[in-house]
Amino acid sequence: MSAQPRAGEPRQFRARVEYDGTDFHGFQVQAAERTVQGEIERAVEAITGAKTRVVGAGRTDSGVHASGQVVSFAAVWRHGLPDLHRALNAVLAADLSILEMDLAPEGFHPRFSATRRAYRYTILNRPWRSPLERRTAWQIAQRLDLDR
């Protein structure tokens, strides 16, 4: 764990986030667009009263979902970690959630400290759309040639 900071000094937090990317314009902050990074930064500012920069393990494109992307940020927080976790989720919209949170170890960086990444691509191969999978699958109505 990170060394205990002096009162009023920011601590480095690490979080694992999940989001439905349908209504986001990717991860990275963009002027006048809703992004994952921007929403988390707004939530941290709303809770702590200070601006911060959220760093992600990677940048997703518009419409891409994530089920375990790691981010970090520095903030001054005088209460318990579970309180910060709950407070952030309370102000985040329903399509973005912090699944886990802890203090980042010394030298941690979400991108460079990552040991693996996993991607899932879902193809719905049938002629009729699926209301349940419309946001998470690519529909291809034609029969796929899987032998090729």
Judge whether 50 lies within some domain: yes
Is a pLDDT exceeding 80 seen at residue 4? Answer: no
pLDDT, position 148 = 80
Mean pLDDT, rounded, for 128-142: 93
**DSSP state at residue 40:** H
CATH number at residue 64: 3.30.70.580
Contact, 70 vs 57, CB < 8 A? yes
Contact, 85 vs 13, CB < 8 A? no
Across-strand partners of 139? Answer: 124
Confidence of residue 103 (pLDDT cuts 50, 70, 90): very high
Judge whether 79 lies within some domain: yes
**For the segment 18-31, what is each residue's pLDDT rounded down to a tens digit?**
999 999 999 999 99
Judge whether 138 lies within some domain: no
Q: Provide the domain limits for residue 69.
A: 11-118
Confidence of residue 57 (pLDDT cuts 50, 70, 90): very high
Number of domain units in the chain: 1
pTM of the model: 0.86
Residues assigned a catalytic role: 61
More confident residue, 117 or 69: 69
Kindly give, in sequence order, each residue whose CB lies less than 8 Å from that of residue 88, ignoring residues fewer than 6 positions away: 15, 40, 43, 44, 47, 98, 101
Confidence of residue 1 (pLDDT cuts 50, 70, 90): very low
For residue 20, count other CB atoms closer than 10 A to its CB. Answer: 18
pLDDT, position 29 = 96
Mean pLDDT, rounded, for 64-77: 95
Judge whether 84 lies within some domain: yes
Judge whether 126 lies within some domain: no
